[in-house]
Amino acid sequence: MLVKKILITGGAGFIGSHLARRLIARGDEVTVLDNLFTGTRSNIYDLQDNHRFSFVLHDVTQPFWGQFDEIYNLACPASPIHYQRNPVETLKTSFLGTMNVLELALKTKARVFHTSTSEIYGDPEIHPQPESYWGHVNPIGIRSCYDEGKRASETLCADYAREYGIDVRMIRIFNTYGPYMHQQDGRVISNFILQALRGRDITLYGEGDQTRSFQYVDDLVDAMVMFMGLPSETVQAFFEKRGMRIPVINVGNPDEYTILQLAEEIMKLIPGCVSRCVYLPLPKDDPRRRKPDIRLAAELLQWHPRVPLQEGLSKTIAYFSQRM
Amino acid sequence: MLVKKILITGGAGFIGSHLARRLIARGDEVTVLDNLFTGTRSNIYDLQDNHRFSFVLHDVTQPFWGQFDEIYNLACPASPIHYQRNPVETLKTSFLGTMNVLELALKTKARVFHTSTSEIYGDPEIHPQPESYWGHVNPIGIRSCYDEGKRASETLCADYAREYGIDVRMIRIFNTYGPYMHQQDGRVISNFILQALRGRDITLYGEGDQTRSFQYVDDLVDAMVMFMGLPSETVQAFFEKRGMRIPVINVGNPDEYTILQLAEEIMKLIPGCVSRCVYLPLPKDDPRRRKPDIRLAAELLQWHPRVPLQEGLSKTIAYFSQRM
C-alpha cells in the first residue's frame, strides 16, 4: 500500500489525536496542524518522535500550504464551554478554517474529509435524525456560533464540491467520548467522570431525562478512515443513487441513554463512588434529545458501532483517573 | 442635524442605490463600496457629481478601512440567478463581507445595519414568520450558499454584538421590488414585467399558486433609515423587554398575492399587453410560501408599508420600459 501524506487540522484535539495515531499506525505520513486552543501537545506526545509525524503550530483561520493526498478538517472548538468563550473566533475557525482547507484542496487536488456535527440538526423535531433532515437551529442564539458555523462550513464543502469538483466527504458526528477528551470541556461525560472520581455531586440539568447517544471514539475513527478510503466513484454512485449530490453521513451510536442513566452507569464503574446526583436548571437552547439515524453509514461502510457504553466508559475512566 | 458619514457596502445595487439617494437627500455624506458584480454604475449615475457622494470599487471579501458613523451592510448577490452563478463567492461575500464590516465597526465604533433576508427562514413551516422562528433551511442544497451564508452572517452580527458590544441592527428583508432592480435578476417581478413589456409568454413555476408578499423599495428604505436613527438605549430596551438580545426585525409587505395574481396585475397595467401565462416545473428548494410578521417593526418604528402593489408596479414598469 502506498504511503499517504495526510494533513489533520485540529489534530492535537481529542478526535484528531486518535485519528493521527490510527493513520501513523497504518503507515501514513501525518502532519498535524493545530493552534492548541483546545488541543494539547500532551494528546500527541507519544507521536512526537515518530519520523512519519509532524506538528505545525498554526491557526486555520490563516491560509496554509502543503502538498497532501488527504486533508482531514477537524479544527474547531466543539464544546459549549470552549466555543462560547470566544464565539466570534469559533465562527471564524469553522468558516475560514474550512475555506482554507478547501482552497488548499483546490490547488493540490487533495481529498477532503470534513467534520460536521449533529449540532447542525439543532434541537431536532424528528427522531432519529436522518441526513436529509434540515435541522432546527436558532441563528442568533448563544450556541449559534458553533451550530451555524458548522452549517455554513457544510455549505462551503457542498459548494466547493459542486462548483470546483473537490472530493469532499462529510460526517456528522454525534456525541463522542473516550480517552484524550478534554477534561474541562464541560460536557456531560467528562463532567460526570471527574465528579464521580472526586466523589463530588454529579450535576444534572433539568430532570436528567433528556436522552443522548454516546459513541466511543474508536468507532468514529473506524468510520472516518473507512469513508476516506473509498474510491470517488463508489462514493459518488452511492449518494447519487439515493438522490443526494453531497456525500454526508451521520456517525454515532444510536443507543439512547438518559443523562441520569449515564450518571448511574459511571458511578457503578467507580468502586466506592460516594457521589450523588443534584439537579440544576436546563441551559438555554440545550437540545432535549438527539439520536443518529446511521442507516447510510451502515450501508455505505458496513459500519456499526462496536464498543458498548460500559466498555468505553471503563477505558475513559481509566484515562481520567490516571491523569488526576 | 449633524452630517453623518455613512458607508454603504453594495451601495450600487438595487436597494443600496435607493438608500444612498435617500441619505444624500437628507444631507449625509455617503460612501458607496461595491465590486459591481450585480450593482452597476448606472444605478448611482445621478449621484456621481454630488460632493457628498463617493464611490469605491472594492470587494467586501477583502478588508477595507474608513471612519464612518454608520455602516449599512448590503453587499451580497441576492437573486438565485446571480448567487448560483458563483455559490462559493456568494458565501464568501456574505460571511467575509459581514466580518469585515464588523471588524471595521469594532475599530471605529460605527453603528452597523446588517441586511438579512426572509431566506433565512428557508421553506417555512409556519405563516406568517415572526422573528423568533428559527427557519427551515437545507444546509447543503443549491440555494444554501445564500440562505446559510445569510444565517451565518446574522450569527456573526449577534456574536460581535454580544462579545464586543457592537451596535448592530438587522432587518430581514422580504421580497422587495422597484425601479433600479436588476432586470436580469431572474426574479418574479422583473421577469414578469420584462416578459409582459415584450409581449412574451409569462412563465409561472408550478401551479402559480405559491404566494409571495411584495414590498415596494421606498417602504423598505423608510424602515432602514428609521431603525438606524433610533438611539441605542431605545433599541436595547425595546428588544430586552421582549426577551430578545439581538435587534432584528422583519420588514416586508404582508399582503399576499399568488404568483398568478401578480402576473395578471402586471398585464393589466401594461396597455395592450399580449402576453399569456405558461407553466413550468417548480425549481428545487423553492419556498412555497412566505409572509412577514411585521408586528415588531410596527411597534418599534410605527412603520407600515404604504405603497400599494398597483402603484409600486406602475413605477417599476415605467422604469423598465424607459430602459428598454
Write out pLDDT tens, residues B5-35: 999 999 999 999 999 999 999 999 999 999 9
Per-residue confidence (pLDDT) for residue A1, from 0 to 100: 65
Q: What is the pLDDT of residue A80?
A: 86
> pLDDT tens digits for B122-141?
989 998 999 999 999 999 99
Residues B138-170: pLDDT tens digits? 999 999 999 999 999 999 999 999 999 999 999
Whose cell is 457542498? That residue is A158
Q: What is the pLDDT of residues A294-322, one digit of tens each?
A: 999 999 999 999 999 999 999 999 999 99
pLDDT at B32: 98
**Which chain B residues contact residue A246 at CB under 8 A?**
140
Q: Do A152 and B154 touch (CB under 8 A)?
A: no
A159/B145 CB distance under 8 A? yes
Q: What is the pLDDT of residue B183?
A: 86
Strand runs labelled E in chain B: 5-9, 29-34, 53-57, 70-73, 111-117, 168-173, 176-177, 202-205, 211-213, 215-216, 248-251, 256-258, 277-280
Q: Is the pLDDT of residue A286 over 90?
A: no
pLDDT, residue B84, reads 85
Cβ atoms of residues B262 and B210 within 8 Å? no
Would the CB atoms of B134 and A134 count as touching at under 8 Å? Answer: no
Q: Which residue of A has its CA nearest to B138?
A: A134
Is the separation of the CB atoms in A252 and A215 below 8 Å?
Answer: yes
Q: Which residue of B has its CA nearest to A102?
A: B88
In the block, cell 500532551 appears at: A42
- In angstroms, rounded to a whole number, what is the distance separating the alpha carbons of residues B187 and B261? 15
Number of helical H runs and strand E runs in chain B: 10, 13
Residue of A nearest to B161 (CA): A88
Angstrom distance (rounded) from CA B52 to CA A281: 55
For residue B116, what are the CA distances in angstroms to A1, A317, B130, B153, B161?
A: 51, 47, 14, 8, 15
Pairing state between β A211-213 and A256-258: antiparallel
Interface test with A, best of B140, B242, B245 (most A CBs within 10 A): B140
- DSSP label at residue B280: E
CB atoms A162 and B144 under 8 Å: no
Residues in Cβ contact with B292 at an 8 Å cutoff, skipping those fewer than 6 apart: B118, B128, B129, B172, B174, B213, B250, B251, B252, B253, B254
> What are the chain B neighbours of A136 within 8 Å (beta carbons)?
134, 136
Task: Dump pLDDT digits (tens) for B28-82.
Answer: 999 999 999 999 999 999 999 999 999 999 999 999 999 999 999 999 998 888 8
- The DSSP bridge partners found for residue B278 are B203
How many angstroms separate the Cα of B52 from the Cα of each of A77, B25, B30, B317? 46, 10, 6, 30
From B295's Cα to the closest Cα of chain A, the distance in A is: 19
A157 vs A201: CA distance, rounded Å: 43
Least Cα distance to A215 among A9, A23, A76, A15 occurs for A15
Binned at pLDDT 50, 70 and 90, residue A187 comes out as confident
Judge whether residue B309 has pLDDT over 70.
yes
Instruction: Tell me the pLDDT of chain A averaged across its residues.
Output: 95
Amino acid at A266: I
Question: Which whole number is the average pLDDT over B248-266?
Answer: 95
In this prediction, residue A287 carries a pLDDT of 62
What pLDDT score does A211 carry? 85
DSSP state of B122: B
Whether the per-residue pLDDT at B287 is higher than 70: the answer is: no
Residue of A nearest to B83 (CA): A159
Determine, for residues B144 and A159 on separate chains, whether the beta-carbon distance falls below 8 Å. yes
ipTM over 0.90: yes
- Enumerate the active-site residues of B: 146
Of B86, B152, B162, the CB nearest to A152: B152
Coil, strand or helix: which one is B208? coil
Give A324 or A27, the one with higher predicted confidence: A27
Amino acid A285: pLDDT: 62
Residues of A in contact with B135 (CB under 8 A): 137, 139
Letter string b/e over residues A2-15, b meaning 16 or more CB atoms within 10 A of that residue's CB: eebbbbbbbbbbbb
Question: Has residue B295 got a pLDDT over 70?
Answer: yes
Report pLDDT digits (tens) over B83-103: 888 999 999 999 999 999 999
Alpha-carbon gap, residue A262 to A189, rounded angstroms: 8
| Catalytic choice (A72, A83, A121, A146) | A146
pLDDT the model gives residue B85: 87
Q: How many CA atoms lie within 13 A of B288 on its CB side?
A: 7
* Position B243 pLDDT exceeds 70: yes
Once rounded to an integer, what is the mean pLDDT over residues A257-279? 95
- Measured between beta carbons, the chain B residues lying within 8 angstroms of A155 are 91, 139-140, 144-145, 148-149
Whole-number Cα distances in Å, A187 to A78, A197, B226: 10, 16, 44
Helix (H, G, I), strand (E, B) or coil at B288: coil
Confidence at residue B286, expressed as pLDDT on a 0 to 100 scale: 66
Distance between CA B14 and CA B218 in Å, rounded?
A: 11
| Range in A172-186, A296-310, B48-62, B213-227 the model is least confident about | A172-186
Q: Name the minimum distance, in Å, from the CA of B157 to any CA of chain A.
A: 8
Where residue A79 falls among pLDDT bands split at 50, 70, 90? confident
From the number of C-beta atoms within 10 Å of its C-beta (0-12, 13-18, 19+), residue B106 rates as middle
**What pLDDT does B324 receive?**
85
Interface test with A, best of B155, B164, B168 (most A CBs within 10 A): B155
The verdict on a CB contact (< 8 Å) between B162 and A142 is yes
What distance in Å separates residue B13's CA from the closest CA in chain A? Answer: 24
Residue A2 has pLDDT above 90, yes or no: no
Cβ contact B86–A138 (<8 Å):
no
Taking residues A140-162, what's their average pLDDT?
97
Closest in A95, A137, A245 to B134, CB measured: A137
A139, A152, A154: residue with CB nearest B135: A139
Residue of A nearest to B152 (CA): A148
pLDDT band at A210 (very low <50, low <70, confident <90, very high): confident
